[in-house]
Structure 1
């Protein structure tokens, strides 16, 4: 569905186009834009964003996209672009459903909280109360499952790894949800329970399965009855039988693949399909603090708990925060992205500005993940003033690190999809990070407190935690995805370099959906084994290793595994 972009017809069509789908959210929606949404500035931002979407799709072969924008809590733009893809391709419109992948975690968190609200679940009791036979392996304690709670699962602090041996982002077949969850018992924790944040699909699938067990209904059915139907989200579903039968369903695309599995085994961590019209309803629900037609679907205290970040860091109960500053106003922007199986999703809302945005697309490429960023930034600038750093180097008093501290910190570090290096520079330290473009001094505020400056001048803080319990030192960051584990450095003593490791050396291949996806190289360096540049620091037993970032590498069987992914000899 496309609309003429003159101001009057665009806004009128946007409002009326979602009115039917949102009637269950807040009663009748007048076909008039919300107060403050009709100004020339927002109109210009929308027009520019529309052009950027069309250009980005063309540049990176994105076949279909659907977006929605809410201003002052009300929809002002809902539109589809391009085609659904597949043999029966049709135009994308406001009712086309897309897989939102990991943005599903936001829905799962609400589903769990609704069950807790009804007294069916408790966020803070061990999950073995609900799954008595569940176990997971840990090198840190004998019965870690006895300390894992739903809260830790939803905040990614249970210590779980990301992929399961059965049913993951790489296997072509889609096993039952029960078989997928059961296989989690064959995994090893990366870290002690509750001590560190690490993003994990497994935690959310466990939470969704607990929801299924406790409510005696499938996850998709609970979500539909308790959340989607009350919000009037009639297009959306997590039921494979429903979404695979929909003609108006976008088809995922991935470079190098003719077809991609239509059904994901990651039911609770990535299984929701939604339309732009429905995402507008979901955004309105959260911009209203969990209310529907003025009544609380999610109790205000529980909605606040979801967004309270009580365990620290930037990941709450299914939601990520970004603390920014516009003019003199501190602003909290909430979000959750998704990506996989040929789809991507951007989901952003700012309760302080009553502003929300979602973009869904059927090819994972860099350009679509930027859809809406300039629009949101422009709208917040118009509301509060120009974007400003929250903390700059002038606001702290750095100290000169001692020679011993410099020696301890120098080396390479690994994090989630990122690597960084710290090296000596004069009598100080320099920090270089590959992905985010942070390059410059590592400012030392205390022997364990450090800061780096982003290109815009804003500072990111790190807490240094020394090596302990078989884990290397790490730099823990309030921005959870920026945390880093020490990997290797020039001052490290040589490792044991055992002769028995020779049989593990070589090049392997990880397949995705039946085709080679990437190579994995196991090599020796300084008396240690390394897997794709990440050091194996612990050999728990012959053939079972753990990397510097806590992942298990298991050579004990005919088909070795790394991060629970099969390694095929090249």
Structure 2
């Protein structure tokens, strides 16, 4: 049995149950269900409930609120990957006459389109969607709260527009497209726009008394792409595997990495927490690790999906109350408990099957000015460039097939690395976005910007 297939250790399972029990008790949730994913499958389910004799399992539906946005974002990314649209396109190009068409599709995905946070009153989450039958009813007379592209401002109407975009380009209702293109291929049979038994009821718990009141259950209509879905901890566990690894039937691993990359800055008040937003995914640094996923809430329900790709661990938490449990912190804690108690065992090192001699010649030490860098050819066929000591700019590079490489992260993301050769074919230097790397500091035989002093290196004298 490989490490990825092993069940969690008893001590880890008890720690997870304890954390869920504390979250349910202190948050005063009528019920709370959770799941943990490791190695591509769910390895733990747990729940606590105020009803004696049974607890919800991985097949009980809860409303997941804004986790719906991640599903909508996946549909938009599919359209991009098919060449139907470009993320830089203004919405107006594909969905004209909305009054908000100057925002680009990327901006809408990242909540930087400048749109208002909510639709006009009455509050859409607690009133029938029939009150807002048209996009104009969702956007109102003044759809923008900020200039498009100027800042991050979370917008529910923005995802309504993205859902309408999907409907326009696919020629079918948003939920039908979602089921055909995402839910069915991934086997998410218990996820959909309407509840199906068994499902939890939504409750409001009095803040100063241990009493409850049922919350209204509304069909969100036009706002559905922003928060309509119901799902289970079992289905969301499978969705977490997809978000971390990709599935060529739905969306590639490369496109999902793009979704997990920050595309919008944090608010100034949130910088200390290390939060950001990608394309339909929330991003945060917590407990020293990078977490991606999404939280959701609607009256009567709370939901959270948290993934640590580096640890290969994800957590799902669902509760049926309007407020109380700190559900995002709970999800992050479940990931941390597993990652710290049972650290990921790395795959065995394996050499490349074959190495291109021209690329192999580039491996070794290089100098940017007087700063020493190392260039390595890794077993996955990528180049890695980084400082030999201390901190500094570093990145992996993907081959372009023409003798150049493109940076994948950090300062060099998207920048092109190429080897500049002499007439005899030997390498003079590396050019990386106008940065020149030479085999020795300020190599006088290379094209160093600004030239090299003809007197060379010398002492004070």
Which TM bucket (shorter chain)?
A: 0.5 to 0.7
Once residues 26 and 259 of structure 2 are traced to their aligned partners in structure 1, the CA distance between those partners, rounded to angstroms, is 38
1:114 maps to 78
Pick the structure with greater CA Rg: 2
1:72 maps to 39
1:156 maps to 111
Structure 2 residue 48 is the aligned partner of structure 1 residue 93: no
Residues 270, 181 of structure 1: CA spacing in aligned structure 2 closer, same or farther, 3 A cutoff?
farther
1:337 maps to 295
Structure 2 residue 16 is the aligned partner of structure 1 residue 49: yes
Once residues 187 and 229 of structure 2 are traced to their aligned partners in structure 1, the CA distance between those partners, rounded to angstroms, is 15
**Could you tell me whether the CA contact under 8 Å between 2:315 and 2:332 is conserved in 1?**
no
Instruction: Select the residue among 209, 219, 224 that pairs with 2:174.
Output: 219
Once residues 108 and 236 of structure 2 are traced to their aligned partners in structure 1, the CA distance between those partners, rounded to angstroms, is 25
3-state DSSP of counterpart to 2:279: coil
Per-residue deviation, 1:55: 4.0
Per-residue deviation, 1:180: 5.2
3-state DSSP of counterpart to 2:42: strand
Structure 2 residue 98 is the aligned partner of structure 1 residue 134: yes
**Could you tell me whether the CA contact under 8 Å between 2:205 and 2:323 is conserved in 1?**
no
Deviations 1:42-87, CA, capped at 9 Å, x for gaps: x3233123133234324443222221101122210124443799xx
Residues 350, 275 of structure 1: CA spacing in aligned structure 2 closer, same or farther, 3 A cutoff?
same
**Could you tell me whether the CA contact under 8 Å between 1:169 and 1:341 is conserved in 2?**
no
1:92-491 aligned within 5 A: 92-136=56-100, 145-146=101-102, 148-165=103-120, 168-169=123-124, 171-175=126-130, 178-179=133-134, 182-238=137-193, 240=194, 243=195, 246-255=196-205, 257-265=213-221, 266-288=223-245, 290-291=246-247, 295=248, 297-313=250-266, 314-323=276-285, 326=288, 331-369=289-327, 370-382=329-341
Once residues 84 and 251 of structure 1 are traced to their aligned partners in structure 2, the CA distance between those partners, rounded to angstroms, is 13
Once residues 166 and 33 of structure 1 are traced to their aligned partners in structure 2, the CA distance between those partners, rounded to angstroms, is 55
Residues 178, 123 of structure 1: CA spacing in aligned structure 2 closer, same or farther, 3 A cutoff?
farther
1:418 maps to none
Once residues 362 and 302 of structure 1 are traced to their aligned partners in structure 2, the CA distance between those partners, rounded to angstroms, is 33
Once residues 58 and 66 of structure 1 are traced to their aligned partners in structure 2, the CA distance between those partners, rounded to angstroms, is 13
Structure 1 or 2: larger strand share? 1
**Could you tell me whether the CA contact under 8 Å between 1:353 and 1:383 is conserved in 2?**
no
**Could you tell me whether the CA contact under 8 Å between 1:322 and 1:332 is conserved in 2?**
yes
Per-residue deviation, 1:346: 1.2
Which aligned segments of 4 or more residues in structure 1 are displaced greater than 6 angstroms?
A: none
1:494 maps to none
Deviations 1:521-552, CA, capped at 9 Å, x for gaps: xxxxxxxxxxxxxxxxxxxxxxxxxxxxxxxx
- List alignment gaps of at least 5 residues for structure 2: 207-212, 267-275, 345-461
Once residues 37 and 344 of structure 1 are traced to their aligned partners in structure 2, the CA distance between those partners, rounded to angstroms, is 30
Residues 302, 283 of structure 1: CA spacing in aligned structure 2 closer, same or farther, 3 A cutoff?
same
- Aligned CA RMSD, in angstroms, stands at 2.8
Once residues 352 and 185 of structure 1 are traced to their aligned partners in structure 2, the CA distance between those partners, rounded to angstroms, is 42
Residues 84, 158 of structure 1: CA spacing in aligned structure 2 closer, same or farther, 3 A cutoff?
farther
Once residues 326 and 279 of structure 2 are traced to their aligned partners in structure 1, the CA distance between those partners, rounded to angstroms, is 25
Residues 299, 149 of structure 1: CA spacing in aligned structure 2 closer, same or farther, 3 A cutoff?
same
3-state DSSP of counterpart to 1:347: strand
Structure 2 residue 1 is the aligned partner of structure 1 residue 35: no
Once residues 54 and 103 of structure 1 are traced to their aligned partners in structure 2, the CA distance between those partners, rounded to angstroms, is 23
Deviations 1:250-283, CA, capped at 9 Å, x for gaps: 1111236434124234301111111111111101
- Give the total of aligned pairs: 327
TM-score (normalizing by structure 1):
0.53
3-state DSSP of counterpart to 2:290: strand
Residues 168, 117 of structure 1: CA spacing in aligned structure 2 closer, same or farther, 3 A cutoff?
farther
Higher relative contact order (CA 8 A, sep 6+): 2
